[in-house]
Structure 1
Amino acid sequence: MIEVANRLQTVEEYYFSKKLREVGLLIASGKPIISLGIGSPDLQPPKKVLDAISESFQDANAHKYQSYQGLPELRNAISKFYKAHFSVSLSPNTEILPLMGSKEGIMHISMAYLNEGDEVLIPNPGYPTYQSVTKLVGAKGVLYELDEANNWQPDFAALEKTDLTKVKIMWVNYPHMPTGAQPSKTVFEDLVAFGKRHNILIVNDNPYSFILNDEPKSILSVEGAKDVCLELNSLSKTFNMAGWRVGMVVGDSVHIKNILKVKSNMDSGMFYGIQKGAVEALKCSKMWFATLNNVYKERRDLVWKLADALNCTYDKNATGMFVWAKLPAYLKSEEFIDLVLKENHIFITPGTVFGTKGEGYIRFSLCASTENIEEAIARVE
C-alpha cells in the first residue's frame, strides 16, 4: 500500500464535495431535492460573452498555448474595469495577473509567500479554502474571530494582543462570505495600517462586490495599500461565469511577479476563447448589474420568507448572493439542515462549514429560481 503525503493528514475533502454526493444519491432515489446550498449562478452570462467565445474558435491562435500572463486585451479590460468601478489605477502590464478562477489564486499566493511553520490569519467564519490551503503548504492557520455584534469586522485590539511575529499573510473577504457583511468605513484603512505595522501581506478576496450592493469597494483604493495588499477578484458571480474559471489577482508588480513564478509552473495559460469572453464581460454597462440584481432581489425577498418560516433571523442590510440566517438559540446548524433535508427535501448549508463561529447559523443560496424557492416555502409551511 503506497502511503499518501503527510499533508493529506491535515485536510478533509471539501464539505460540498462530500455533501453533494449525498444530495445526488437522494435525487437519484427519486427525492425532489431543492438545493439552496451552493453559490453557483444559474443565470446566463451576457449574450455578447457567449458570442465572443463562439466567434473565437475560428481565430488563428485560438487553440494554441496561451500566455501565462493572459491576453493583453484581457489585462487592459481588467485595468479599465478597476478604474471605472473602484477608482483604482492598475498597470495592465505589471499589476494584473489573470487566474483560472480566484480559488487557484489562494494556492498560488500561499505557495509564493509561505514557508513551513509560517502563520496565517484566517477569518472565523470564513471561506474554508483559506484554512485548507494553509495546511497543504505546511503553514499554520491562526483563526481570528468575527462576531455579529461587531458586524463581522476584525477586532484589531484583540489582534494586537497576540503574537504576530510569525504571521506572513492575513486573509480578509469583504463583502464577507458567508455573512454578507459590508466593510465598515474604516476597516480597509485599518487593515492597511495593520499590515504595515506588522509586515503582513493582506489579501482581500473580493468576488461579491456587485451582487445586491450599490457601493462596490476595493482595498486597493486606500492610499499606500499596494505596499502590503493584494486583491483577488472573479467573474464567476458578477457575470454568471462560475464554470468558466476566470479570476484575477491585482496589486504591486513585485507581488505579481512572485505569484507568476508559481503560476507559470502550474498551468500553460487560459483557453483563448474564455479570455475573449471575459474581455466582453468586463465591458458590460451598469444596466447589466441592475438587471442581475433585480433577479437576486426578488429571490432574496422570497428567501427571507423561507427564513421566517424556519423561525430564523437575518440582516436585511447584508449583500451578496446568500442569506446568512441565525437559528433559534437551542438548535445546532448541522442537525438542523439534516432535518430539513430529510423532512422537506431542501438542502441548506450549515454555518459550521465556515468555522466554529458559524455554529447556530445557516446559509441560503440565491442561485435558485423563484419557483423553487416558492416551493421550498410551501414545503416548510
Structure 2
Amino acid sequence: MITADRLKTVQEYYFSRKLREVRGLINEGKPIINMGIGSPDLAPSPEVLETLKDAITDIGAHQYQSYQGLPELRAAISQFYKDKFAVETDASSEILPLMGSKEGIMHIGMAFLNEGDEVLLPNPGYPTYTSVSKLIGAIPRTYELKEENGWFPDLQELEQTDLSKVKVMWVSYPHMPTGATASKEKLTQLVDFARKHGILLVNDNPYSFVLSQNPTSILSISGAKDCALELNSLSKTFNMAGWRVGMVLGNKDHINAILKVKSNMDSGMFYGIQKGAIAALKSGKEWFNALDEVYTKRRELMFQLADKLGCSYDRNAVGMFVWCKLPKGSVGSEKFIDKVLEDKHIFIAPGTIFGSNGEGYIRFSLCVKEEKIKEAIERF
C-alpha cells in the first residue's frame, strides 16, 4: 500500500527516533542519564490525584464527554487566566479545552490554513509547527530569531517581505527552546504587526509558570483577541504531561472554527482527567513556589554542568530547560551531543532539531533529579 504524499513532507519526530537509540543503549547496560526531553518527573499534587480517584465513581464518569469540556473546567480556566494574567474571558465561548496543546497546533492549522497558504514559523522553534504546516499543505516560512536580538523577531525586516499569503504566525513566549521572555511592549508589537497584516497570531504559552516571576499572556494586550489565540497546557505547570490537558483561548469566532475541527476528531476528554485539571487550576501559590524551588536547585546544578563543558548561557531565561551556547571552535551541535552520549552516556538535545539557528547550541532539560545531575557533573 502506497502512503499519502503528505508523509513525504515530514520525518519521524527527532525524539521518537533518538530515544529508541537511547533505550537501546540502556538495554545494553549503559548507565544513560537522559537530559534531552522535557517530560516532568515530578507528580501532580495530592489534591489532583485524590480528585481523579474520587471522580471515577461519579455517575456518568465513563460516558462520552462534551467536545467543549465540562462547564466547570472552562470556568476554572477562565478564573485561572483572570487571576494569573489579568485576562477576562467568556468561559462559554472563548475557551476550548484540548487533549494537550500539541493537539491544538494541528486543530488550529486545519481550521485556518488552506493548501498553499503561508505560515510564519520561528527559527529556532518547536518542530511541530513546521511538521503540522507541511502535513496540511501550507508553506512554512521561517523568521530568524537570534541571541543578539533577545530571540525576538525583527518585525521591520519581515515587513519588507511579501506577506500577502501569510495566514498564521506562530510565536512562543516564554520561548521554547531558549527560555527567552517577551515584555508587554514586545507582545504589543507582535499584536500590532498581526492586525496590520491580517495575520492570525498564535502564542504557545506552556512555560509561563516554571521559574518565571512575571507570567504574561498575549491576550492581556489590548485588542489581541481580534487577531490572536493562545495555547496553554497543564503539562509543565502541574506535572500532568501524560494526562494530556491543554486549552486554547481566543474570541468566539476563532474558537468555534477550532471546535468544528476538534468535534470531528475526538469524543471528549475523560471526565476524571477534567476533574483533576479543575483541581490543579485551583492550586494556591504554595504549589508554584514549591515547583520553582525544585527547578531552581536543579538549574543551578545544570549551570555547573554547562560550565564543565565550557558553555555560556542566560541565567535569566525561564522554563524547564537550560539553553547553552557551545564554546568557540566546538564541533557542530549534533556531533557534540553524540560524542557526549558515547563517552559519558549522557543524552542532551542538540539545538539543530529546533531549526538552523540552533546550530552551535545544546539544550538541557531540568526534568532530571538532583542526584543524577550531580552524577553527570562527576562524569566530567
TM-score normalised per structure 1:
0.99
Deviation at 1:57, TM superposition (A): 1.0
SS in 2 for 1:153: coil
Judge conservation of contact 1:324–1:362 (CA < 8 Å) in 2: yes
1:21 equivalent in structure 2: 20
Tell me the equivalent position of 2:359. Answer: 359
For 1:42-53, list aligned pairs within 5 A. 42-53=41-52
Query: Structure 1 stretch 179-188 or stretch 36-45: which is displaced more?
Result: 179-188
Per the TM alignment, residue 105 of structure 1 is displaced from its structure 2 partner at its CA by 0.2
CA contact (8 A) 1:153 1:184 kept: no
Match of 1:165 in 2: 164
Paired letter, 2:195: K
Contact 2:233 2:247 in 1 (8 A): yes
Q: Who is 1:71 aligned against? A: 70
C-alpha displacement at 1:184, in angstroms? 2.9
Aligned-pair identity in percent equals 66
Residue 328 of structure 1 and its aligned partner are, at CA, apart by: 1.3
Partner residue, 2:215:
216
Once residues 329 and 142 of structure 1 are traced to their aligned partners in structure 2, the CA distance between those partners, rounded to angstroms, is: 29
More moved, 328-337 vs 220-229: 328-337
* Corresponding residue of 1:205: 204
Partner of 2:105: 106
Q: Does the CA-based 8 Å contact 2:146-2:152 persist in structure 1?
A: yes
**Shift in Å at residue 329 of structure 1?**
2.5
Aligned partner of 1:280 in structure 2 is 279
Question: What does the per-residue CA deviation read over 1:297-329, in whole Å, with 9 as the maximum and x for residues that have no partner?
Answer: 000000000000011000001000000000012
2:348 alignment partner, SS class: strand
Residues 69-115 of structure 1, C-alpha deviations (whole Å, 9 max, x = no match): 00000000000000000000011100000000000000000000000
Q: Deviations over 1:114-136 (max 9, x none)?
A: 00000000000000000000000
For residues 7 and 329 of structure 2, the distance between their equivalents in structure 1, rounded to whole angstroms, comes to 35
SS in 2 for 1:352: helix
2:375 corresponds to = 375
Question: Aligned pair 1:187/2:190, yes or no?
Answer: no
1:1-381 equivalences in 2 (<5 Å): 2-331=1-330, 332-380=332-380
Letter in 1 for 2:314: D
Cα distance, 1:180 vs. partner? 0.3
Q: Which runs of 5+ in 2 are unaligned?
A: none
What stretches of structure 1 move > 6 A for 4+ residues in a row?
A: none
The code of the aligned residue for 1:162 comes to: T
Per-residue deviation, 1:192: 0.8
Do the aligned partners of 2:32 and 2:347 also contact (CA within 8 Å) in 1?
A: yes
Deviations 1:250-294 (A, max 9, x none): 000000000000000000000000000000000001110000000
Using the alignment, how far apart are the partners of 1:185 and 1:314 within structure 2? 24
Counterpart CA distance in 2 for 1:180 and 1:70 is 31
Per-residue CA deviation, residues 30-66 of structure 1 (Å, 9 max, x unaligned), is: 0000000000000010110000110011101110000
One-letter code aligned to 1:84: D
Q: Which letter does structure 2 place at the counterpart of 1:373? A: I
Give the CA deviation at 1:207.
0.1
**Could you tell me whether the CA contact under 8 Å between 1:230 and 1:249 is conserved in 2?**
yes
- TM-score by length of structure 2 reads 0.99
What is the Cα deviation at residue 185 of structure 1? 3.9
**Partner-residue secondary structure (3-state), 1:186:** helix
Separation of aligned partners in 2, 1:223 and 1:308: 42
Q: Distance in 1 between matches of 2:233 and 2:340?
A: 32
